[in-house]
Amino acid sequence: MVDAKLSRRTFVKASGALGALAVAGGSAAAGNLFGPAVPKAHAEEADDVIWTHCHVNCGGACVLQCHVKDGEIAYVESDNTGDSSFGGEGFQARACLRGRSIRRWINSPDRLNYPMKRVEGTKRGEGKYEQISWDEALDTIASEFKRVKDTYGNEAVFIQECSGVEQNFMMNNPFFRLFNLVGGEVTRYGNYSNGALNFGAKPYTYGDSWGARSFRTLAPGELVVLFGNSPSETRMSGDGLGYDLAVAMEKKGVRVICIDPRRNDLATNHEVEWIPIFPGTDAALVAGLAHEMIKENLVDRDFLHKYCVGFDEATLPEGAPANSSYEAYILGTGYDKVEKTPAWAAAITKIPEARIKKLAHEIAEAKPCFIAQGWGAQRHTNGDYAARAVMLLPQLVGQVGLPSTNSGMREGNSSMDIPTLPTGDNPIKEKFPNFMWPEAIEWGEKMTATNAGIQKGDKLKQPIKFLVNYGNNMMSNQNGDINTTTDILRDESKCEFILQYDVVWSDSCNWADIVLPDLTPQETWSLSASGENCDHKGVWVGRPTSEPKFERREVYEVCAELAKRLGVEKEYTEGKTREAWMHELYDEFREDNPEAPTWDEMLTRGIWKKDSEPDNEVDPYIVDPEANPLETETGKIQIYSPELAKMAKEWELPEGDEIYPIPVYVPGHDGPGSETEEYPLHLCGYHTKAHTHSSYANNQIIQDAHRHNVLINPKDADERGIKNNDKVRVASKQGEVEIEARVTKRVMPGVVMIPEGAWHDADMQGDKVDKGGCLNTLTTRHPNPISKQTGQHNALVQVKKA
Amino acid sequence: MTQYAFHFSGSRCTGCKTCELACKDYHDLGTDVAYRHVYEYETAGDWKADEAGCWSVDGTSYYVSVACNHCDDPACTKVCPTGAMHKDEQTGIVSVDTDRCIGCGYCHMACPYNAPKVDRTKGHSVKCDGCAERVAAGKKPICVEACPLRALEFAPKEDVERNNKDSEVADIAPLPSKGYTHPNLYIVKPAGAEKADEATGKVVNTLEVK
């Protein structure tokens, strides 16, 4: 690569006397090289360069150096410290296009400036609000809290997740800290990202996060097989997983196979093989691969016998019936009695039989082999099984727990451990599955451990009556089936009070009773660890880029005001401001990392990076499985889960849902084979580069560069008379959107794809047609049978020219 | 004269457009003007079903990030009626003298890389100047420093050639054949890239490359 110093010298030399002027006079003089009238981007130096970072829920936490002039960010640089070379020793947390465009978002016309309340006499969803004072807003919130607490108990209080401010020491902790001082609140478990994988698959297979390794552990020439995984798009930062995989491909000659319904951005430009798969059929592919491996004697039976239970009849746990092993399922002697040949799998996955057979041999012969799934495969209504099936694949060939292998779950990542604002103790223990919060409003008191996966208790005591949304867009955007969800919210007798507290007027604000204006994380004090990456460790300290404008106020201080009204101010603040907490928590971090700079140093330098190497040792369980058992019921890797076998008998499931102890293929609701004349196409969601979930989706400059559209194959488009860039209507049983069509060979026939996160924009008193093209207008509310988590990124649809 | 040149590692690019947006941030450009843009190109090819209804597809897709290539033989300067669009004798940077520019748009129409644009509110042409003030101050152009994949470089042509011995002057679709303007853009080809004069496919993100 080019030497920066050399470039500069040569540039100056080439410019002769004017070049010397350029150096002496800074940027203003440099313009002389190109004529006096050439506009200069930044003729004057900034008043200050303020280090802060991006805080949204992409997994990254990229560094932003904000060049501030007259109290406004003039432009942004990112992390340009240390080694900038591709695959070099150090790392740079370079922001992606979203962080680079932060000043347009901070100055967005959608910013909230004042507290607002819903106009009396109007319904939720009508969108009529009036400005009120902070005192009125805070008094109302406090009195509503007291009323709900007195009427229903603290079990009726719920704080939603805060995806918009995820990478931060503060997050929505102030609300938890406050409510825990006054009786607590009901809580959730799981998340929208990987709920099925982490709650429907992992606990029953490995017990805990086990066997995951980062891309930095890849061996030269190794085979990497990815299911529904595009780190080039989902981990885009300069220190992200996409970067490290690109380095491994170029520097180590790593070979990658992407199995995905869409040619994702890992399978463009790079020498990556794309195998298109019909969405929701990953478990069928694994079954077909297993069949070929069994028939060709490619499975590692020694590994399976020593470390796993339930692959074959010989290793079934006690109490399991005959022919309940995975091998019996594959060979057609158990379960549905159908042999899962590659031809059987081909008919379901739409992958040619010969390619399935070849893939079985490629995976079995590769040593080491690195198999990982993104969070696409599990975000279907059969996602619990898809996730477990992909996890099974490395087990079949003994490629888990060894160096340069992976668990079949998401590739490993780690970051720095930074303490967050303490939240105290919550006396209420019951937890419900994250995805089911609308159900917890509608029939919470009937939700039990066996019909809705309630944990830490047998049932919920109360439906949700008091709902806090801080830093999220969950009400009408980021949760499955917007039209059903908002019907629940519209009825004020169900959830009696809804607070929305955000930086911008997202569509969720239209469902709130009170709306509060927040500061962006860049306008206040912040402390974060480097993002999810391949063991690149760093800590970032952010200073406010400006004074608060209008009547915007940050969350810690606002909760202190509420604490005053609820009589617990002293206990809540302990006499500390947000900045003081941050200083204290940083010092706490320094106790474990004494080599880190002092607080005062951090205020000026902004970032600190620590060298670290990823773990690539043989796992203790592999070294000695008896001495180091896994956290499963059997202590082993469970291909057959006795926990699931028990749940299959005891749980009450909706019609069509079933629980199996092994990772079978089931089509799931609206899955493959359920197409109708009315809805013949399968819709699948994916993550776009234009926004992080719904964060930044209102920042027009990015949306203009990555337009929101539905990907449709030329065959399906031609049948419908649809041309590239045409406006189309996409309709499912749940709703209808208007959106631009991208006619592209990057998506397989029969499948259309829409990125999640675009802002819902519909007349909810009228036709409800969503002109914003939000994926969740079309998706369902059907949770996975085991995890009860997000299975919503599949739906059956029709597409028509608008 | 020291001619400056861009280098694009097409085998690293993921089409994220951080280069384009960092440029827009630094140069304060709106939604209607971009100095750098990223083509999404699809080669010819079709989806074919076998007897079992299983799919295979040939052809591929790839991204190409391009700004002004400060060409050896620029099309824009040739058509400029006032001489406002000119190539700097010292650095080879092509830029516009805004005092002389009448905003006629000939440069925009002539450039096969879609580099100069006419900003109607300013009344003159605008384009990439290689972030001259940053380079003079010892920095990289903002797009180069922004790329998360380190897929862009900008340096004197001889340095680019010396440090990227396997790279070639850009001659791939959807860009024009290098013979038109002799661009100072060196590339590592994206996987599956087609030669410029053997292009079979088309740009699919037409509304994103203004």
DSSP code per residue over A635-677: SSEESS-HHHHHHHHH----TT----SS------TT-TT---S
The ipTM (two decimal places) reads 0.97
Is residue A26 predicted with pLDDT exceeding 70?
Answer: no
Return d(Cα A233, Cα A248) in angstroms, integer.
Answer: 17
Residues 6+ apart with CB under 8 A from A467: A158, A160, A441, A495, A497, A498, A499
Interval A351-363 mean pLDDT: 98
Report the percent of chain B where pLDDT is more than 70. Answer: 100
The letter for the amino acid at A616 is N
Report the percent of chain A where pLDDT is more than 70. Answer: 95
> What is the overall mean pLDDT for chain A?
93
pLDDT of residue A415: 81
Strand order in the sheet with B37-42: B61-66, B37-42, B202-203
pLDDT of residue A39: 47
Q: Are A380 and A279 in contact (CB under 8 A)?
A: yes
Question: E strand or H helix at A537, and its extent?
Answer: strand A537-542
Which residue in the set B22, B136, B149 is minimally distant from A11, CB to CB?
B136
Is residue A21 predicted with pLDDT exceeding 60?
Answer: no
The predicted-structure confidence for A255-264, as pLDDT tens digits, reads as follows 999 999 999 9
The predicted-structure confidence for A507-517, as pLDDT tens digits, reads as follows 999 999 999 99
Q: How confident is the model at residue A612 (pLDDT cuts 50, 70, 90)?
A: confident
Which residue in the set B133, B159, B207 is minimally distant from A725, CB to CB?
B207
Residues 6+ apart with CB under 8 A from A373: A197, A226, A227, A228, A229, A282, A387, A390, A391, A408, A409, A410
Q: How confident is the model at residue A28 (pLDDT cuts 50, 70, 90)?
A: very low
Mutant choice from A79, A724, A745 vs B, greatest count of B C-beta within 10 A: A745
Q: How many other C-beta atoms lie within 10 A of the C-beta of residue A603?
A: 16
Q: Which of the residue ranges A82-86, A215-219, A247-251, A557-561 would you say has the lowest mean pLDDT? A: A82-86
Nearest Cα residue in chain A from B156: A7
Q: How confident is the model at residue A5 (pLDDT cuts 50, 70, 90)?
A: very low
Which residue in the set A3, A350, A706 is minimally distant from B53, CB to CB?
A350
Is residue B53 predicted with pLDDT exceeding 80?
Answer: yes
Nearest Cα residue in chain B from A94: B148
Residues in B closer than 8 angstroms to A347, CB to CB, are 52-54
Question: Looking at the complex, does the CB of residue A5 fall below 8 Å from at least one CB of chain B?
Answer: yes
pLDDT of residue A414: 82
Token code pair at residue B75 = 């099309």
Return d(Cα A496, Cα B17) in angstroms, integer.
Answer: 44
Q: Are A335 and A363 in contact (CB under 8 A)?
A: no
Report the percent of chain A where pLDDT is more than 90. Answer: 90
Return d(Cα A78, Cα A53) in angstroms, integer.
Answer: 9
Nearest Cα residue in chain A from B52: A347
Nearest Cα residue in chain B from A23: B137
Is residue A168 predicted with pLDDT exceeding 60?
Answer: yes
The predicted-structure confidence for A182-233, as pLDDT tens digits, reads as follows 999 999 999 999 999 999 999 999 999 899 999 999 999 999 999 999 999 9
Q: In chain A, positions 36-55, which contact chain B (CB-CB < 8 Å)?
A: 36-42
Domain map of chain A by residue range? 4-106, 116-185+426-525+544-605, 196-414+618-650, 681-801
* Contacts A–B by Cβ distance under 8 A: 282
Q: In chain A, positions 227-266, which contact chain B (CB-CB < 8 Å)?
A: 232-233, 236-238, 240, 242-243, 246, 250, 263, 265-266
pLDDT of residue A534: 79
Token code pair at residue B126 = 């605008």
Return d(Cα A570, Cα B53) in angstroms, integer.
Answer: 69
The DSSP bridge pattern shows strands A751-755 and B202-203 to be: unpaired
Residues in B closer than 8 angstroms to A355, CB to CB, are 56
Interval A130-159 mean pLDDT: 98
Is residue B171 predicted with pLDDT exceeding 90?
Answer: yes
Interval A335-357 mean pLDDT: 98
pLDDT of residue A1: 35
Contact B16 A96 (CB under 8 A): yes
Contact A103 B25 (CB under 8 A): yes
Q: How confident is the model at residue A783 (pLDDT cuts 50, 70, 90)?
A: very high
Interval A441-468 mean pLDDT: 98
Strand order in the sheet with B4-9: B152-156, B4-9, B185-188, B168-169
Query: What CATH number was assigned to the domain covering residues A196-414+618-650?
Result: 3.40.228.10
Question: E strand or H helix at A52, and its extent?
Answer: strand A48-53
Query: What CATH number was assigned to the domain covering residues A681-801?
Result: 2.40.40.20
The predicted-structure confidence for A671-696, as pLDDT tens digits, reads as follows 999 999 999 999 999 999 999 999 99
Nearest Cα residue in chain A from B93: A34
Nearest Cα residue in chain B from A345: B54
pLDDT of residue A43: 60
Is residue B24 predicted with pLDDT exceeding 80?
Answer: yes
Contact A704 B208 (CB under 8 A): yes
Interval A538-552 mean pLDDT: 96
Is residue A796 predicted with pLDDT exceeding 60?
Answer: yes
Architecture of domain B4-47+57-74+128-208: 2-Layer Sandwich (3.30)
Instruction: Please spell the DSSP secondary structure of B142-195, one letter per residue.
Output: HHHHH-TT--EEEEEHHHHHHH-TT-EE--BTTSPPTTTT--SEEEEPPTTPPB
Residues 6+ apart with CB under 8 A from A172: A159, A160, A161, A162, A165, A468, A470, A471, A555
pTM, full prediction = 0.95
Question: E strand or H helix at A709, and its extent?
Answer: strand A709-712
Cα B53 off chain centre by:
41
Rounded to the nearest 5°, which phi and psi values hold at A40?
Answer: -100, 135
Interval A18-22 mean pLDDT: 30
Domain map of chain B by residue range? 4-47+57-74+128-208
Closest CA to B132 of A284, A707, A250, A40: A40
Contact A246 B12 (CB under 8 A): yes
> Which CATH fold would you assign to the domain A116-185+426-525+544-605?
Rossmann fold (3.40.50)
Q: How far is CA B188 from CA B8, B40, B43, B144, B193, in A?
A: 6, 16, 18, 15, 10
The predicted-structure confidence for B125-156, as pLDDT tens digits, reads as follows 999 999 999 999 999 999 999 999 999 999 99
Bridge partners of residue A534, in order along the sequence: A414
Q: How confident is the model at residue A40 (pLDDT cuts 50, 70, 90)?
A: low
Q: How confident is the model at residue B49 (pLDDT cuts 50, 70, 90)?
A: very high
Q: In chain A, positions 430-489, which contact chain B (CB-CB < 8 Å)?
A: none
Contact B26 A352 (CB under 8 A): no
Q: Which of the residue ranges A18-27, A410-419, A773-782, B86-95 would you say has the lowest mean pLDDT? A: A18-27
Question: Looking at the complex, does the CB of residue A80 fall below 8 Å from at least one CB of chain B?
Answer: yes
